[in-house]
Amino acid sequence: MRFIGNVSTGRTAAQLADYLYTQGFEVNLITSHSAMRPQAPLKCHFYTSFQELRERLRVELSSSHFDVLIHAAAVSDFHVVRPRDLPHQGKWSSDKDIQLTLAPNPKLVNSVREWSAAKAIRVVAFKLTDTTDKNERIEATQELMNSSGADVVVSNDFNELSELSHSGWFVPAVGTRQHFESNGQLNSLVGVWLNK
């Protein structure tokens, strides 16, 4: 079996959920089946596909009152458009080439305010870039803030992530952007911002 995936582990979301729980926040986590699990006894919903995540977000946001959504999920940017000459099920023959076409998925964070029963919901979005050009990073962060209406964008770059390091920028729509060197520092920045 083959699949197209990403390298995200869910560690940032799990650690942030644990931190917020210890700070007294009620946390409702929507996470991938394969992601790292938080240690805290949280209400968790699991998804496998983009479609499942989209539907779970829509249902949760429209049926409950959430003050804040922290959208840290490494959502698939694309989906495979099924070629016409391949069977729906079963094993595909390895006797011929297969070409797959990828089509873009909608940005889920852009629909949060529309789906939310709480119109004053505060939104934290995450933006991962893959460039050494600082201006491109800033531009991508601003584009996400503009398109999603996010109150904060957490911006990091693929070139600066490793097992030992998770640095980036905490960029509020109002206020001063702050650099962080670890998930612990990011958690603290989010906690301070939530208590404003």
User: Mean pLDDT across the chain, nearest whole number?
Assistant: 83
Q: How far apart are CA 189 and CA 178, in angstroms?
A: 8
Q: Tokens at residue 25, please?
A: 């926040």
pLDDT tens digit sequence for 47-58 = 888 888 899 999
Predicted structure pTM score:
0.82
Q: Tell me which architecture the domain covering 11-84+97-194 has in CATH.
A: 3-Layer(aba) Sandwich (3.40)
Does the pLDDT value for residue 186 go beyond 70?
Answer: yes
Q: For residue 62, what pLDDT is reported?
A: 94
Does the pLDDT value for residue 33 go beyond 80?
Answer: no
Percent of the chain with pLDDT over 70: 84
Hey, which residues does 172 pair with through a beta bridge?
A: 152
Lowest model confidence (mean pLDDT) among 6-15, 37-46, 121-130, 168-177: 6-15
The sign of the CA dihedral 174, 175, 181, 184 is negative
Burial class (CB in 10 A: 0-12, 13-18, 19+), 137: buried
- For residues 162, 45, 68 and 140, what is the CA-based torsion angle, rounded to 10 degrees? 40
Where do the structural domains in the chain lie, given as residue ranges?
A: 11-84+97-194
pLDDT tens digit sequence for 81-112 = 876 666 666 676 777 777 778 888 889 999 99
Residues for the chain: how many in total? 196
Does the pLDDT value for residue 1 go beyond 50?
Answer: no
